[in-house]
Structure 1
């Protein structure tokens, strides 16, 4: 089981958390085309390697945070608050 270091509560077991999908998605302008809106609503990246994801500490503080995690090894590379930019990860 993964141990996730909540930026608000500290290290907790993975089963206390819920993944909310891809992070840093920008909502399009109100006057966007149907294709742009459909892309925003339904298409997400599915990388092999590092992925920026939103996570919620569901059975703890209830707050959201971002995590960069390898989709291959499940290694957690970075955890940061929702308002912080994605950190640069050195290979």
Structure 2
């Protein structure tokens, strides 16, 4: 079972209390975007084997959105941070780089 800590209220919750929101840190398109840009926004997502940055909502708690860094193979959670953060925190990227061979924190920023 996936267990995440909500950085907004501090509660630790199982995935049944959360709602997934897909990939984090993607560029959202506005109403003036052409059809191909809107298609890319809706359907073209990374689905990596390993480290992944995702959006989650604490649905049965505070109701706020947050981001989580986790490993899609082992389900290890490296950390969570508020959704208003434009990119993963440097400390979190360094923590992941120390644990995951071949992970390049510079490739994320």
TM-score, normalisation: structure 2: 0.73
1:15 shift after superposition? 1.3
Q: 1:9, 1:61 within 8 Å by CA — same for their partners in 2? A: no
Q: How many residues align?
A: 91
Instruction: Name stretches of at least 5 consecutive residues in structure 1 with no aligned partner.
Output: none
Q: 1:40-75: per-residue Cα shift (whole Å, max 9, x none)?
A: 121111100111100011111111100011110111
Match of residue 54 from structure 2 = 53
Change (3 A) 1:76 1:32: same
Q: 1:34-45 counterparts in 2 under 5 A?
A: 34-45=35-46
Structure 1 or 2: more helix by fraction: 2
Instruction: Name stretches of at least 5 consecutive residues in structure 2 with no aligned partner.
Output: 101-109
Match of residue 16 from structure 1 = 17
Report the aligned-residue RMSD: 1.7
